[in-house]
Each structure stands twice: as structure tokens, then as C-alpha cells.
Structure 1
Amino acid sequence: MKRVSQFQVSMSNTEQTIQCSNPHCLAVNSIDNQFCHRCKTPIVKRYLWAITDAVAPEQIGQLIGDRYLALDRRVFLDTQPGKLPQTPEDVPKTIIAYLQLFSYVPHLPQVYGQLDGTDIWLLEYGTVPTDERGELLHPQLIPEITEVWEQATALQQLSWLRQIVNLWQPLASKQLVSTLLNAQLIRVNGLLIQLLELEPDQSATPQLKDLAQLWSEWNQTASEQIQEFLTQLCLRLQQGTINQPEQIIALLDRAIQLCSYTFDYSYRVVACTDSGPSRNNNEDASYPPNETLINVGNQETSLAIVCDGVGGHEGGEIAAEQTIKYLRDRVAELSLGKYDTNPPSVIQKLANFTNAANDIISNRNDNEQRQERRRMGTTLVMSLAHHHEMYLAHVGDSRIYLITPESCHQVTVDDDLASREVRLGYAVYREALQYPSAGALIQALGMRDSGSLHPNVQRLIIDRDCVFLLCTDGLSDFDRVEQYWQSTILPLLKNSDQNNLIKAAKALVKIANEKNGHDNVTVALVHCQIQPKSETEAEAISWAEVESVVGESLSWSEVAATDSSLPETESLQPTEAQFTEPLPQPRKSKKLQLLLLSLIILIGIGVLSSLFVLKLMNEAEDSKELGPTIPEREMTNPEQEITTPRSKNQNF
């Protein structure tokens, strides 16, 4: 409680100021302002965590480097979020690990930069729980799992354990799995497990059986519905009978399924699309059709799709519309039982459908002899809800956000050059966004055959009311979702009137047109609601119930090979092996990059000049009128190593 009072004293200091979060404004405001006094944009406060004690006790409440307001020895507020954070040329190996695991955001924190004038690194977590004034609700940003565990439902507790196990392999690959054995580092933010920071493994590499001790402690205050199941699970972990993450996840999935039987689920879906104030045609497309509301009950599936066409007039819109038609028809053929589903099979089918949609567009490009920038394509974001499961698929830079009463998180990672630079360990994300062509896509549907495409498919467990937002970059550019989710989407979780869902979608389109206005805009909202069944009593889940379905009588190697298990690739984001670039290497020196860049530019100018002359000569001989040659956004070869600077938040 003492620390909370320190926050309140610091935040109520009227002498402190904060910069507007609108990049087109950046006006200086009182730190107590909720909206910018000049442009009326909601003030977004970025709270950061230092990976070590960064200030002395007497510095709490003061600005560090005239920028970072110290709220505690390790907690800071960036009062100039429009300014690029300090980052050195040489990044330590421990920080490079965060960059290489960038695909697992928001489970893992993102590197923000260094505290001005120090070598102390700062981490960010997307949205952290705050009150209506934007002040922190928790002294250490996000509550520890042990703080919320006892009050959680059995479904929530199992979902959290499942997320922890799902992070085991990626963290083990970087010798960081000790993080998952330290309860103080495991935090809960809405539906999601978030790690406060990463803890390197010591001389002895932790094993899965080490989870048993920690989980046994938690089981003492777990829901009575799952205590027997967890007791037996921990026992088998200790004995070594269970020694693979896939085995644990298969068992947890079955237990989650049994817990879900005591709940009713309903989904409401609506989509809105608009060409925007600066475009004559709309290359976006959506399902459901524009402003059509769909209500889905317990036994049905809920589908939402948003596509952003690439390739110019009579190109992008064709690719987007064909993709939606094909995926809608194929998803309708999926046979999903009333409750029982086969998650790995569904994930694989959605990936296959996406690849097939890609090949339809790619083959059409080939048949019409569309080459390079004349090829049409589209981005894709898709959600498929069935009972307690939400499947999400994406390709390109359209996004999916998860909104709960406490937080708003982007749960997809853009397939663009900036994100790829981070995964390679070459740059901090905010730094990479400043490079030219940061937003150039490394993949989109239709640009190449499916052998070069890597759809991102994931699965989340719905254990509470929430909203998923699917949108094109006409809305997401310039952080508009982060600025307006509380005023536009959060009220949906307090009022279930279906008219409010349509109004919210329209409001988001209006925000995109008025605040951005540089592109088409399409949004889809999926409102997920969960209610306990009043007539169903939550019975204790026995190990035998789980064992009978998962099949412990089989060897675990056989279980891992069947559709009852979870493949390694199912995570909030894909593993490094799913990307076409080489495995991340240590960050390159900026000086070396600049030297290489200069040489490449000189060589490139000579080659391009020659090609341009030849092209003019060929066009002079060819009287055939060519179609548009510049797509709505750049495409790049995903196998090409990034060496040139780039920048996001511009119209490509």
C-alpha cells in the first residue's frame, strides 16, 4: 500500500507534463490530462519496467534525463513517448534474447530502450491495468499470478498453466526457462500470462519435472474442480512419466474441455468497411458483409475475416474478395462437434485453407502474367470461435487485438520488415520503425506460391468476456487502437446491447477516417460472452476422465504424433523455424551497416539506371497499355537479409 501512495503522489504532481500520443500533434499536456488539450486525442501512458534497480529512493517522483518519471526504483512513465528511446550500438546478449523472441509478444515484454544517461534497459508490456485516470493499479505494473490465482475459476487456472507450458520450448532454446519457475516473474493481464522479465538459466538446466514443485504449491489453493487432476499431473511430472511439453498440453486441453462444459458461450460479430476520404476505390473486404450483425450460440461457429488488398485498382480488391469467398466456403465445411474438437487438426486445416487461397490468387497472377509489383495480393486476419476456443489466423500487417476490461493487446505480429529486423536481433522495435520501408511486407496472400507462405495460426482459450478487434492498417496506423480502445470498445464489455456493437464498429471507422484518412479502413468486432450454466454443477475432474481421452495407455511418443496432441508450432506466434529468414544472429554494428548500405546504394544506382534505360526503350516499342505498376504497399523477398534502414507509419 505504501508504494501505491507513492504512485499517487507522483501522478498528481501538476508540475509534471506528458507529450500527446498523437504523432501529428505531440503537444505538451499536464500529466493529469486524460485528453490532449490541443487535438483531444486520449493521452496514452507508457509504463516501463527497468531490469534492475535504476534510481535511488530519493529520486522517486523525479524526472530522469528530463524524460522518464520515476514512480519506483524500477517503474517509470515515459513523458515523451514520441521521442525515440536511447539505444546503444552494442546490445548485450541478454537483451538480444528478448529481440529474438519478439514473436511471443505479448506473453514476453518488448525491449523499449535504455533509461537516459544510463546503461539500464527498459521493458514494456502493451497495456497494463490502470484506473480511469490512467494511474497504475499495481505497484509492479501487472499482478503476480499468486495474487489472482485463488480467486480465479478452474478454467482460468488451467488456461494460465497451458500458456506457461506453451512458452517452455522457446525459452528453453535461449536458456531462459528458469523464468517459468519463478512465480514472481509470472504475471496475469486479462486472459494472458505475461512475463515481467526473463531470467537466465544457471549451470543446471531446469527440467519439466521442476514445474511440479511450483504447481503443487499453487494446487493447494486451486479450484476444487481440478485439484485431483493437478495432483496426479504433478506426480507424473516428478516421476518423469510425463517429460514433454506436448504431453502436458494435451492433458490440459482435455481438462479445459471438461471445465468448459459448465459454461454457455455466445458470440456477436459485425464488420464495417469504408474507402476512406483519400481513396476512390475500396480494396478492403470483410466477412460478415458491411454492417451485418451475426449472433452465434453455443453449438455454432463464429467467423470473422478482414482483408486488405495489395496491387492497385482491379487487383487488390479482387484478391481480397476471392480470399474471403474461398475461406468462408471452406470454413463452413469444417465439422466441429458440439463441444469436442481436435485443436491441432483445426489449426492445420486453417493453415491449409490459407495456403489454398494463396495459390488461387498466385495462379491467377501467373495466368494473367502479372509480375513483381503488378501482382495482386491481400493481407488476411481471420477469427474462428467455437465454444471455449478462439482460432486466429493472419498473414501480412492487418492486425488482431484482444480487449478485456483491464487491457488491450495486439496478439498478432506484423509480417513486415521492421518486425523481421527485431526477430533477427538487429534492432529494437521502436528503432526499426524509423527505418525507410519499415512497413514493407515480407509476405501476403497471392504474391508467391504457398511453398513460400507461412500462415500464422494460433488458438486461445476464452475464459471470460472479451472483444477481438480485426482491422486493416487504415485504423491501426499511428497507434489509433491504443488511443481509442477504452472509449470505443471497452463499453461493449459493460453493455451487451447488440446495437452498441454496430455503433462501435462505425465509430472505429470514423476515427480511422478522421485521424488517419490515408487508406481504406475495415474493422470487425467479435464480442465473446461466457456465462455459467445455472443448472450444471461443476464436478471435480478426475485423472481417469482425462486419461481415458488422451490415451495414457499409449506410449507418449505415439500420443505426441496423434491429432490429440499439440504441435510445437502452436503458440501465440510462430516459432523461429516457421520463418524463411536464417536464425537470428547477434545485432550488427550500425557503422558496418552504413558502410555496406553505401556500397549497395552505389551499385544499385548503376544497375537501376541501366535497367531504366532498357525499360524506356522497350516501352517505346510496345504500344500495349500496361496496368498499374505500384501496389498499395511494398513487397520484399522474405529471404533477403535486411541491411537498409526503414520506417513504419507511412502510406506504402
Structure 2
Amino acid sequence: MTQVDIYPFKKYVLALGSGRDVPPGQSVNERYWVLSPGVWQDTQAPEPPENPDTVSAAARPYLQAYPHQLHIPTVYGECKLVDGPVLLLDNAPIDRHGRLFPTLGAAWAGATPFRQVYWCWQLFSLWPHLFDLNMAASLTAPEAIHVDGWRVRLSNLIPGQPPLQELANLIANLLPKSVPTVANSLQPILDECQDEQLNFDRLLEKLNRVLLSQAMEISLMTEVAGSTSSGQLPQNEDACYPSAVELERSSTADLPSLPRIAIVCDGVGGHAGGEIASQTVVRSLQLQLRGLLAEIAEQEEPLAPHVVMDQIEAAIRVANNLVASQNDSQGRTERQRMGTTLVVAVMIPQRIPTPDGYEEVNELYIAHVGDSRAYWITAEACHLLTVDDDVAGREITMGNSYPAAAHVRSDAGALIQALGTREANSLTPHIQRFILDETGVLLLCSDGLSDHQRVETSWANYIGLIIKNIVSLPAAVESWVELANQKNGHDNIAVVLMSCRLTGQTVVVEEKTLPPLPTQPDMSQPTELTAASKALLYGESEEPAEIDGPTEAKPKRSLQALVLAILLLIAFSVAGVAGMLLWQNLQRTAPPEPQDTITTPDS
């Protein structure tokens, strides 16, 4: 399955190479229509594009940068023309109307001080990754750096390893268009880039301080809701937090952390193994993360991003070993070993000391293992924040295959890692930090929803329902689940929504609000879709087409006995993770070599 943004009606790609200079309004190879210089429309999408049998030198850097596709384009295809070869890039900084997003320089003066610093943070964070690929020169070329709202996006990669001072000079040239507080804070950091003995990690820490100082002006309110469904399968191996069951189990002491944690797990393994693994990880992580939130709330200084990431990674490893030990104690081997995917979001409230006391800055950390996904959705855009841990992605990143070919392999979707199938030292969780400065919804889901680009093709109908308060968040969750059942239905489904709203914004409340969908609707008899679900499935003003027959709901299994057995071990794990907060200078470990695939028992 492709990881890139999917436009339901038109597919635009960016053309690079000596043969790209085709006049607008011309057709190329009876497939591509030249919209503007370098921007082509694929008139035959979603038919796979043409690619050479072997990977070209021009395409290889983009394949190797595949894990960073939040900022870097991916390869779409290649075509040979009389004037030379053309490399076509997908996930390029092109909007849905076929126009390039503005460059960093063009957008700088009109941006908020926070966004200016956030863009700088992203550029400096990308530097070591692109330097290792011999593509750091991309970050020193003003024409290659574009911005899509908060997100920095490169239009193309440029080979070279210039000194960091060149990136500093690019930003310094923009500072006259910044407010004095930003210019005065950034200039000393940029000046340090001239030092040949520069400590890059220390530089990032100083830049992070400036970023947090600007983020103090942002105040967020969060709300979280989640649900799962067995779909058309006899048992449900997906789990999430929060869910109706977890909310009933929560106490008053849990309420402060409740809207700050969201978890989705998709279990793998036969004989109820996947169900046990997913629920074990959900319950372990939510306990550990609540402890982490409590510890951070008592800190006198904000923790550096790498320190928080280390704590989250440690919690994930503890949860992994809980499942792995279950596998070992039950004698499960190879395909019998149970495991689970994971995507987790935690909103960390950092305390920032000021002369007038403490201010709070909310940092969003997202971690994932496997193919469960996270999307950030606003009224204008849907951003896929994660990259699947599957065979297709591994082959692309290793430079062995073009994406179009990798995604049609018979084993393309096979997982290369999951929680619990191996010991924690073989696990490589992916963890990112974001700071939100806009109202939107974070969507976490299993592949029961994300398959067939269901999110990418439905988000525009969905987002307005939340922002305009037409439906409640729990009702929106159930509508997403119903969408997956109607349009996919081949797998279990888990959905968690975290609504993030800037405080002080005006909310338009409709006079007639829709009633929430039932938590566990009776699917044994034909049911009329709610208005919220119709809006999701067919558009807010469209009438639905004929719907397939209903499916039978399956009872959920209770795992209370298992929970009681592992609660003591989890409690010790929470204490261990909290204690690790003292290790604020802990260095991140390097990721291991690509792993073998995770196979599941035949159904």
C-alpha cells in the first residue's frame, strides 16, 4: 500500500531531469499532461506508472530517504524522452490544485514567530539524515525548500555535504523579516554554526529552548475517544485506549491524563494470541505513560525531546517484553508467537520557567511499530505522520525497488517488526515530536481503516463534522469504524481520535446536533445509517448509494484474568520508567539492521 498522499480525483507529480522542459498543455507518453513547468498530471492514475527494471542513480537517494517522507518526496516513476530521462516524484510539495506550495523565503514574512522557529527546527533536525545520504545541500537551496503550513517539504534532493554554516546563512538572510524577539534569539545560535568544534546536539537543545519560548503563546484543549470492531471476522484482535471498557475502569485520579494519551494496537498471532498481545500492550503502556506524565509535571525545567523519547521507548520495550515473556512461558515459537503493532500518541505538558512563574507548552509525541498509522487532519490537509514497517518499505529504503513495484509484491504488507515477537533489544520504535499550532484532529488507526487509502479519500468529508461541532467525538469515532466496516470490512478495526483545539477560537455550533452513534450497534438486523455516517461515507450533501448487507457483530473476549496476572509486573515497570527521568543526557541508540518479516498463522 502506498504511503503517499492520495488525491481522489487528480494525481500530480513533480518532473525532474533533462527531459522535463515540456511546454504546458502538452501530453507526454500519452499518459502525463503538463500542467505547468515541472508539474505533470497522471491521467491514468491509479494504474501503476512505468519504471526501469533496475533502479537508476537519480532515484536511489529518494528511495533511501523513504522513512523521511513527511519532508522528502518519494519516487513515482521514470520515463524516457527524446531530450533525456525524467524522474517523476510523488508526495512532492504540490497542493490539490496542482500548484507548488510557497518556498520558505516567500512564506517567511507572513508566518507567525512560532512557525518561523519551527521551520528552523525541522531544517536542523533533517540535517544529519541528509548529510549521511550526501544530500545536505538540499537544505541550503532556497528554491528547494517549501512549506505546507507547519510542515517543511523539499521539492527535490541536491547532492553535496556543505558546512552547516550554509544552512545558518540561509536562515540568517530571513531574520530581517522576523520580529526582534525571534531574530535576537536565533542569531546567536546561527553564529555558533561557524565554529568547527560545534556540538550539534547542544545546538539543537538551544534551538529547542527558543522554540518552546515561542510555543508558550499556544494553548490547546484536547479530547480523546476510541473504539474497536471485529469487522467481519469472528474475533477482535485490535485494542485501543481509551475505549468504553477502559473508561469504565478509570478512576477520578486518571482524569487529568485521560485526554493526553491515545493508543491503537493490532494483534497478530493465532489462538487468541493477537488479542492477548494487543490488550496487554495497551494496558501496560497507558499505565506507564500516566506515570511519565505525573513525573514530568513535577520537573522544574523542560526535558529535551531526546530524553522524553528515551522514556517512551523504554515504556514500549517494557510492554514488548511482557508479551515476549508470555510467548516464552507458553512455548510459542516462530509463527505461533503472538505480537501486536502499535501507534501511540501522548501530549506532554512541559513546564517552562518564566519571570512570572511557569508556563505550559504541549508537545505531541507519536511512536509506532508496525503498520498502524497516525494522521494529523485539519480543515485544509491530511498529513500521514508515520511510515509502515513492512516489506515494501524495507525494499524501498534499501534501494532495491521502486515504490510502485514494491507495493505489488505478494509479501508487500508483511510486517518486519511487531511488539512481543522478539526480545526488546531487536525492536526499533519510531518516535517523533510535534508542537501543534492549529486546530485539528489526530487520527490513530489500524489497517482495518487505513487500507485502500480510506483515510486519504474520506478525511475532507469528516473533518468539518468535528470542527463545526456537528457530531461529538465519540460519534465521529463510531462513524469512522462504520466507514471501515462498510468500505473495507476485511479486518478488525481500531480508531482513536484526539481532538486538539486552540483555545480562544470561535466554535460554530449547529442548532441541531446529531445524536451519538451507539457504542456497540446491533448489526444482526439492517440498520439505517446515521446522518454523521452518511456524511463520512458519501459526502455531507450526498445521498448514499446502495449498501451491502449488514454483518453480524461478534462478542468481545474478556481478559481480566490476564490483566490481574501482569498488573504487579507493570507496576514495577512504571517505577522503572519514572526513575529513568534522571538520565537526561542519555544518548539515542542506533537502529539495528533490517529484520526478517513477521509472519502470522494461516487463517
Normalising by structure 2, report the TM-score: 0.77
- Letter of the 2:210 counterpart: A
The answer on whether the counterparts of 1:401 and 1:408 sit within 8 Å (CA) in structure 2 is yes
Secondary structure of 1:49's match? strand
1:245 Cα shift? Answer: 3.2
Q: 2:211 aligns to what?
A: 256
1:306-338 deviation line (CA, Å, top 9, x unaligned): 000101342111111111111011111111238
CA–CA separation in structure 2 for the residues paired with 1:526 and 1:291: 18
Residue 507 of structure 1 pairs with residue 479 of structure 2: yes
2:11 paired with 1:46: yes
Deviations 1:458-504 (A, max 9, x none): 11121222321111001111111111111113543x4256x442332
Instruction: Tell me the alpha carbon deviations over residues 404-445 of structure 1, each in whole angstroms, 9 at most, x when there is no partner.
Output: 333222211111111000111001122101111111111111
Q: 2-side partners of 1:515 and 1:127: how far apart?
A: 29
Is 2:325 aligned against 1:363? yes
Partner of 2:430: 456
2:224–2:259: 8 Å Cα contact kept in structure 1?
A: no
Deviations 1:13-72 (A, max 9, x none): xxxxxxxx99xxxxxxxxxxxxxxxxxx983422110113645554x2233222212101
Superposed displacement of residue 186, structure 1: 0.8
User: For residue 175 of structure 1, what is the aligned residue in structure 2?
Assistant: 134
Equivalent residue letter for 1:108: I
Please name the residue that 1:265 is paired with: 220
Counterpart position of 2:598: 635
Give the equivalent residue in structure 2 for 1:97.
61
CA distance in 1, matches of 2:504, 2:174: 24
The aligned counterpart of 1:158 is: 117
Runs (5+) with no aligned partner, structure 2: 349-360, 506-581
1:357 partner SS: helix
Residue pair 1:48, 1:78 contacting (<8 A) in 2 also: yes
Q: Any residues of structure 2 matched to 1:5-24 within 5 Å, and which?
A: none
Deviation at residue 581 of structure 1 after TM alignment: 2.5
Match of residue 613 from structure 1: none
Which residue is 1:319 aligned to? 277
2:244 aligned with 1:279, yes or no? no
Q: What's 1:556 paired with?
A: none
The answer to whether the 8 Å contact 2:378/2:440 transfers is: yes
SS in 1 for 2:280: helix
Superposed displacement of residue 301, structure 1: 6.5
Structure 2 equivalent of residue 27 of structure 1: none
> 1:421 — aligned with what?
395
> Which of 254, 266, 275 is the aligned partner of 1:308?
266
SS of residue paired to 1:318 = helix
Instruction: Classify 1:297/1:280 alpha carbon distance in 2 versus 1 (closer, same or farther; 3 Å).
Output: closer
Q: 1:55 to 1:375 in 2, by over 3 A?
A: closer
Identity of aligned residues (%): 34
Tell me the SS of whatever aligns to 2:59: helix
What is the letter of the counterpart of residue 320 of structure 1?
S
Report whether the alignment pairs 1:289 with 2:243: yes
- TM-aligned CA distance change 1:501 to 1:566, over 3 Å: farther
The equivalent of 2:38 in structure 1 is 74
For residues 116-515 of structure 1, the aligned pairs below 5 Å read 119-125=85-91, 128-130=94-96, 135-136=97-98, 138=99, 141-201=100-160, 205-238=161-194, 240=195, 243-276=198-231, 278-290=232-244, 302-334=260-292, 335-337=295-297, 340-386=302-348, 387-492=361-466, 494-496=467-469, 499-515=471-487
Seen in structure 2, the aligned counterparts of structure 1 residues 93 and 207 have a Cα distance that, compared at 3 Å, is same
Aligned-partner Cα distance in 2 for 1:467–1:89: 41
Contact 1:45–1:78 (8 Å) recurs in 2:
yes
SS at match of 1:431: helix
Change (3 A) 1:80 1:413: same
Q: Structure 2 vs 1, CA of residues 501 and 223 (structure 1 numbering), >3 Å: closer, same or farther?
A: farther
8 Å CA contact 1:442–1:635 kept in 2: the answer is yes
Q: Per-residue displacement from partner, 1:497-529 (whole Å, max 9, x unpaired)?
A: 6x4423322222122111111001111111222
CA 1:247 to 1:241, structure 2 compared with 1: closer, same or farther past 3 Å? farther
Distance 1:127 1:489, change over 3 A: farther
C-alpha separation between the residues in 1 aligned to 2:143 and 2:255? Answer: 39
RMSD: 3.1
- Check conservation: 1:283, 1:313, Cα contact below 8 A: no
- Equivalenced residues, count: 502
Post-superposition offset of 1:565: 6.9
1:53, 1:290 → 2: CA distance? 58
* Cα distance between partner residues in 2 of 1:502 and 1:213: 48
Residue 520 (structure 1) aligned with residue 492 (structure 2): yes
AA partner of residue 286 (structure 1): C
Give deviations 1:86-110, integer Å, cap 9, x for gaps.
Answer: 1112323232111111111121101
Conserved in 1, the CA contact under 8 Å of 2:306 and 2:588? Answer: no
User: Does the CA-based 8 Å contact 1:381-1:400 persist in structure 2?
Assistant: yes
Is the contact made by 2:223 and 2:259 (CA closer than 8 Å) also made in structure 1?
no
Provide the rounded CA distance (Å) in 1 between the counterparts of 2:85 and 2:7.
Answer: 32
- Cα distance in structure 2, aligned partners of 1:42 and 1:56: 25
Match of 1:578 among 578, 591, 596: 591
Shift of 1:124: 1.3
Tell me: CA distance 1:567–1:61, structure 2 relative to 1, closer, same or farther (3 Å): farther
Task: Report if the CA contact (8 A) 1:271-1:291 is conserved.
Answer: no
**What is the deviation of 1:150?**
1.3
CA 1:428–1:450 in 2, change beyond 3 Å: closer, same or farther? same
State the 1:155 CA deviation.
1.4
For 1:454 and 1:145, the matched residues in 2 are separated by 33
Distance 1:356 1:563, change over 3 A: closer
TM-score, normalization: structure 1? 0.71
The correspondence of residues 602-613 of structure 1 with structure 2, limited to 5 A, is: none
Q: Cα gap change, 1:306/1:251 in structure 2, threshold over 3 Å: closer, same or farther?
A: same
User: What does residue 521 of structure 2 align with?
Assistant: none
Rounded Cα–Cα distance in structure 1 between residues aligned with 2:217 and 2:416:
43
Task: Quote how far apart the aligned CAs of 1:207 are.
Answer: 0.8
Q: 1:298 to 1:285 in 2, by over 3 A?
A: closer
| Letter matched to residue 319 of structure 2 | A
Which blocks of at least 5 consecutive residues in structure 1 are unaligned?
1-20, 23-40, 534-561, 570-576, 583-632, 638-650
For 1:428 and 1:93, locate their aligned partners in 2 and report how far apart those are by CA, in whole Å. 12
Cα deviation, residue 388, structure 1: 2.7
Give the 3 Å change call, closer, same or farther, for CA 173–355 of structure 1 in structure 2: same
Contact between 1:316 and 1:378, CA under 8 Å: does it hold in 2? yes
Contact 1:403 1:490 in 2 (8 A): no
Which residue of structure 2 aligns with residue 62 of structure 1?
26
What is the CA deviation profile of residues 521-560 of structure 1, one whole-angstrom value per residue up to 9, with x for unaligned ones? Answer: 1111112223479xxxxxxxxxxxxxxxxxxxxxxxxxxx
1:253 & 1:74 partners in 2: Cα distance? 36
User: Within 1, Cα distance between the matches of 2:331 and 2:34?
Assistant: 59
The answer as to whether partners of 2:93 and 2:154 remain within 8 angstroms in 1 is no
Letter of the 1:89 counterpart: D
Would you say the 8 A contact 2:7–2:456 is kept in 1?
no
Does the 8 Å CA contact 1:282/1:520 hold for their aligned counterparts? yes
Q: Is the 8 A contact 2:382 2:459 kept in 1?
A: yes
